[in-house]
Structure formats: C-alpha cells, structure tokens
Amino acid sequence: MNHLVSDGQIIIRSNPGTIVSAHVAAAESVVAYEADELDGHAHLGWSVIITGVARLVTDPRETARFKALLRPWVAGEMDQVIRIQPEIVTGFTLVPVAATA
C-alpha cells in the first residue's frame, strides 16, 4: 500500500471490502501503519510505525485530490481514502554490521 503525507497526516487509499475500511467507515478507529524501505544487497533500510486515529476522508474535493495523487500499485477497487492522525511514531534504521579485524 502506498501513502502520502499531508499536513502531518498519513493518507492512504483502501478497498471498501477490507477490515480496516469497514471499521473506519463505521467510526474512527485506532490503527497502526508501517512503512519500510529495505535494500537486501546493501543490508540497509528503515522502518517507521505510526499509531493513530484513522478516519474516512469524506469531503468530495479532498477525496478527489488524494485519489489523483495516490495511484494504487495493485489491481482492485481502491475507492476509499483514509486519513491517519499520528499519535505515536516509532522506527529504526538497519545499518551494516561493522567489519571486524
């Protein structure tokens, strides 16, 4: 799943049939969202986990704008736009092991 950051909030698109979408559509929900970048060849990377409150974006203009900016990477219906307000942010970087002599 891809994302963007807008005004300090994480914006994602989701399929209305997913568990997350169903919960968020019913009411705001506490969620965790993880983003990673890994380079297996260089053994480097990072991971960030955001925990916060998720809500559907309901304003039609905002929804259209975010849909235009976020192109899904996978096939399927990705008609819902969800905003996550970060409350807790954790993460780490992967660094190579120092060479021993």
45 sits in the region (left: phi over 0; alpha: psi -120 to 50; else beta) called: left
Number of domains composing the chain: 1
The pLDDT tens digits for 10-32 are 999 887 777 777 778 777 889 99
Q: Global pTM? A: 0.81
Per DSSP, 20 falls in state H
- What is the amino acid identity at position 54? A
Q: What is the CATH number of the domain that holds 28?
A: 2.30.110.10
Domain of residue 8 covers 3-94
The answer to the question of residue 35 being in a domain is yes
The pLDDT tens digits for 28-74 are 889 999 999 988 888 889 999 999 999 999 999 999 999 999 887 77
CA distance 76 to 14: 9
Per DSSP, 33 falls in state E
The answer to the question of residue 50 being in a domain is yes
The answer to the question of residue 99 being in a domain is no
The answer to the question of residue 101 being in a domain is no
